[in-house]
Structure 1
Amino acid sequence: MSLYQKLVAGLLLPLHEKLKGHDTIAVHNAMEKSQWLSPEQLAQLQLDNLRRFLLRIGSTVPYYEALFARLGFDPAELTSLTDLQRLPLTDKATIRAHTEDLKARGASGLKRFNTGGSSGEPLIFYLGNERVSHDVAAKRRATRWWGVDIGDPEIVVWGSPIELGAQDRVRLLRDRLFRTELLSAFEMSEANLARFVQRIRDCRPAMLFGYPSSLALIADYAREQGVPLDNLGIKVAFVTSERLYDHQRERIEQVFGCPVANGYGGRDAGFIAHACPEGSLHITAEDMVLEIVDGDGTVLPPGESGEIVVTHLFTSEFPFVRYRTGDVGVLGSEPCACGRGLPVLASVEGRATDFVTAADGTVLHGLALIYVLRDIPGVDEFRIVQESLQQTRVEVVATGAVDRSDLAQEIQRQFRQRLGAEVEVPVEYLEAIPREQSGKFRYVVSKVATR
């Protein structure tokens, strides 16, 4: 660690977090130790944290006071993590309907946030300092697994309006001191891609952070232009907020000359899991209980695929209890070779809306259609929108002198083989496919409910 990094980690970061009212440093120090507990010890820590959390919200949060009374639920009697299943699942509709009653009495400094609503369901919610402290601490711990830390030069390719709208003098000064530079994922034009590549070369960052689609796009541009980026000393590329596809991982690793570390979480659900260098996606078990449920809400065992449900144990000012993320995943059953006792999320298969349904009801992962388009010459960019069982629309950016009529017929032929012979497959040609409001990019959007 350089002298400057010691200054940032030992003085600037603690001062910054203290001024914001966060307990990040103490939480991080505790997490550095607890990650090495045995699975059994971590489960006990989870149970203790869960009981404390439920006791608190049961006496300070109007919604849960009423719910616990109605169910005859006493958190003090919790003896197992499975006791949490006595409480109902929470979804976006629940939070929308009870937003004010979900605020703890006496909570101060709550900050209003929202999700981008990529599934058609934007959500307004609130975060307190407790939750933010734990998320920042968990992220820092995961960053350090890869030999980098706060104060190392970092390039961030991001597009959240919250981050981009906060570029005031204080934020710019903080980023400068912490050696973080933000590039806008909203502006992925060819001119900006050239500028981004040059900034990465000039900055020579120790780490990259961003959407996998954005980093892959920058990597593609650099490769096409013959600009080397694998000789800059980049140690790791952290990606999150979108599904990481194999072809994106390969492209980023090849062009930047570094491993890709996948992270999973959300502004609403928190910092859920992050990959270690051994390749396991470790759940932040000190902070949350993660369950996998089927379409009826029944909890599934490790190894079975279902919706990811999280209870964040440090959201007592605006609780997230058994919150349905809308993502599909699988819990692991084997410990990681890295030696950490943190449980493993074997896979995150994408959002429920990343799956499509054939006319006969068969549920297919969006990859079944993505790889069709990736293998057709002349398709540069694309997005698949399943409007109904009877219609799946395809948006295409075509390159070169491709015959658009022939291209459309080939797309329709292959899609109908997978979705059904009678399915309508209109193909729309665009100059560019816009990103979502958040700056993310989604290859597949399904408006058909799957179970």
Structure 2
Amino acid sequence: MIRLFDLSLQLNGFPIKEAKTELDKIVHFSEEEYVSFLENKKKQIVDFHLNNNSFYSDLIGNKKIENWNDLPILNKQNLQKPLEERLSKGYSKKNIYLNKTSGSSGTPFVFAKDKYSHALTWASNIMRFGWFGIDFNHSYQARFYGIPMDFLGYQKERFKDFLTHRFRFPVFDLSDEVLEKFLQKFKSKKFDYINGYTSSIVLFAKFLEQKNIILKEICPTLKACFVTSEMLFEMDKILLEKQFGIPIISEYGASELDLIAFENLEGEWQVNSETLFVEILDENNNPVPHGTKGKIVITSLFNKANPFIRYEIGDIGILDEKSTPQKPILKKLIGRTNDIAILPSGKKSPGLTFYYVTKSIIEDDGNVKEFIIKQTKLDTFEIEYVADAALVSEQIQKIKEAIDLYLEPNLNFTFTKKTILERTNRGKLKQFKSYL
């Protein structure tokens, strides 16, 4: 069988073979070799950006950097400048991987990765899914994700699904009729694993529970389910295990970085120490001892196109006491949850649906800094946003049209420009909140 997945990466200029070789080398380092690898990589990536990235060297300015903790903390607000101003020397839109973050933290922005560091991200995904017997080249994925609704975007995504051996269940409408159709697909297709947004997969499990169906019994080829992008609560995990009859694995990642932590075979959340350096810091940006909660700050060790050095991701977490530099364990992730919107027609949609809606409107000019969406009545939503300039009527019209398309028509929206948005007591923006 052709290794279509690897081939499509290679053809798109992502050197997956080389990346797999390097990753394999890192994984097999001894503890001492790993520590010196990490120190070298940290120094190399900082030196590279100081010498080749004017955005980063301006940020440091004349500040004397004597040790790692002297380096500034980056956040999405720092990085909300047009991409051209943040790219390193030698990189342009032609030779990078370009994407937007989901804005699940309420702060969307455009980012770049050089092709090698993006290939490493895939190598790291391939390795981690491989722990559970999943092979991206051959295993068939049931994918619970959004999909662009415009004709071209839709076809492109479906073609990508074909190449990467996955079948997509769009999560914008999760009414019982739609979930019934999902169920029929599981009866007729030989899926190896499920991957997608936590809240949508949990809704599907609740539907199965009502029908008293165990998924593995009607789709015996299923091996595992990987949930991402939102918190998986213990109660939901128990429900998923019961209704699916397969292991449920939590991943925690950020599109601009990589997989950050991935549940290993022992059930621990193993932090990715091969391509990232993860720190837990207090309010004053000092490292906290293992076992203590603090903000998660991450350095991308390989990305030369954009600096992600001591980048504050907006989540709070705790590293386990038994963590070592080579094998850090995330004991607890605090934050990152999404509500579900219930609409007048009875349709249910995950809060992340709004990401697809807003993502299509937010351009790379860095105008809209952050936004939150509140559902105040069945048909009424308030969008509060922080921006340099107020949204103009055609932008609002575009958002309304997108919402008609993705959710349903005749919903009422108010747009309020704010200087600051309210945050949870953990300092996290909740992108979508239902007050129903």
Q: How high is the TM-score relative to the length of structure 1?
A: 0.71
CA distance in 1, matches of 2:83, 2:90: 15
User: What's the secondary structure of 2:205's corresponding residue?
Assistant: helix
Q: Which residue is equivalent to 1:23?
A: 15
Per-residue displacement from partner, 1:163-219 (whole Å, max 9, x unpaired)? 9974436x5445334421111111212221111111122223111101111111111
Q: Residues 233 and 13 from structure 1, CA distance in 2 versus in 1: closer, same or farther, beyond 3 angstroms?
A: closer
Letter of the structure 1 residue corresponding to residue 308 of structure 2: F
CA distance in 2, matches of 1:449, 1:383: 23
Residue 32 (1) aligns with residue 20 (2): no
TM superposition shift of 1:37: 3.1
Letter of the structure 2 residue corresponding to residue 122 of structure 1: P
Equivalence map 1:129-278=2 (5 Å) = 129-150=115-136, 151-159=138-146, 161=148, 166-168=153-155, 172-231=158-217, 232-278=220-266
Query: Any unmatched runs of 5+ in structure 2?
Result: 340-346, 352-374, 383-401, 407-420, 428-436
**Equivalent position to 1:90, from 57, 60, 74:** 74
Q: Residues 220 and 204 from structure 1, CA distance in 2 versus in 1: closer, same or farther, beyond 3 angstroms?
A: farther
User: What's the secondary structure of 1:447's corresponding residue?
Assistant: coil
Residue 332 (1) aligns with residue 320 (2): yes
Q: Quick check: 1:381–1:433 contact (8 Å CA) kept in 2?
A: no
Per-residue displacement from partner, 1:407-428 (whole Å, max 9, x unpaired)? xxxxxxxxxxxxxxxxxxxx96
Q: Quick check: 2:142–2:169 contact (8 Å CA) kept in 1?
A: yes
CA distance in 2, matches of 1:226, 1:198: 15
CA distance in 2, matches of 1:14, 1:120: 33
Q: Residues 24 and 342 from structure 1, CA distance in 2 versus in 1: closer, same or farther, beyond 3 angstroms?
A: farther
User: What's the secondary structure of 1:325's corresponding residue?
Assistant: strand
CA distance in 2, matches of 1:112, 1:433: 31
Letter of the structure 2 residue corresponding to residue 234 of structure 1: L
Q: Which residue is equivalent to 1:41?
A: 33
**Equivalent position to 2:114, from 128, 140, 145:** 128
Letter of the structure 2 residue corresponding to residue 347 of structure 1: K
User: What's the secondary structure of 2:120's corresponding residue?
Assistant: helix
Residue 104 (1) aligns with residue 88 (2): yes
What RMSD in Å do the two structures reach over aligned CA positions? 3.6
Q: Quick check: 2:300–2:309 contact (8 Å CA) kept in 1?
A: yes
Q: Quick check: 2:140–2:192 contact (8 Å CA) kept in 1?
A: yes
Q: Which residue is equivalent to 2:393?
A: none
CA distance in 1, matches of 2:306, 2:168: 29
Letter of the structure 1 residue corresponding to residue 177 of structure 2: A
TM superposition shift of 1:146: 0.6
Per-residue displacement from partner, 1:6-62 (whole Å, max 9, x unpaired)? x32xxx333222211112232223323432434443222222222221221121101
Q: Give the structure, 1 or 2, with the largest relative contact order (CA under 8 Å, sep 6 or more).
A: 2
Aligned length: 360
Q: Quick check: 2:228–2:251 contact (8 Å CA) kept in 1?
A: yes
User: What's the secondary structure of 2:216's corresponding residue?
Assistant: coil
**Equivalent position to 1:113, from 95, 99, 103:** 99
User: What's the secondary structure of 1:321's corresponding residue?
Assistant: coil
CA distance in 1, matches of 2:250, 2:198: 9
Once the two structures are aligned, what percentage of the paired residues are identical?
A: 24
CA distance in 2, matches of 1:30, 1:94: 31
TM superposition shift of 1:162: 10
Q: Residues 262 and 113 from structure 1, CA distance in 2 versus in 1: closer, same or farther, beyond 3 angstroms?
A: same
CA distance in 1, matches of 2:203, 2:302: 36
Q: Which residue is equivalent to 2:343?
A: none
Once structures 1 and 2 are overlaid, which stretch shifts more, 112-121 or 99-108? 112-121
Q: Quick check: 2:75–2:312 contact (8 Å CA) kept in 1?
A: yes
Q: Which residue is equivalent to 2:423?
A: 447
TM superposition shift of 1:315: 1.7
Query: Any unmatched runs of 5+ in structure 1?
Result: 75-82, 355-365, 367-379, 385-426, 440-444
Q: Residues 161 and 130 from structure 1, CA distance in 2 versus in 1: closer, same or farther, beyond 3 angstroms?
A: farther
User: What's the secondary structure of 2:88's corresponding residue?
Assistant: coil
Equivalence map 1:69-84=2 (5 Å) = 69-73=61-65, 83-84=67-68
User: What's the secondary structure of 2:112's corresponding residue?
Assistant: strand
CA distance in 1, matches of 2:150, 2:272: 24
Letter of the structure 2 residue corresponding to residue 447 of structure 1: R
Per-residue displacement from partner, 1:335-375 (whole Å, max 9, x unpaired)? 59xxx953212221224x89xxxxxxxxxxx9xxxxxxxxx
TM superposition shift of 1:270: 2.3
Q: Which residue is equivalent to 1:303?
A: 291
Letter of the structure 2 residue corresponding to residue 106 of structure 1: G
Highest CA radius of gyration, 1 or 2? Answer: 1
Q: Quick check: 1:115–1:123 contact (8 Å CA) kept in 2?
A: yes
Q: Residues 382 and 175 from structure 1, CA distance in 2 versus in 1: closer, same or farther, beyond 3 angstroms?
A: closer
Q: Residues 119 and 59 from structure 1, CA distance in 2 versus in 1: closer, same or farther, beyond 3 angstroms?
A: same
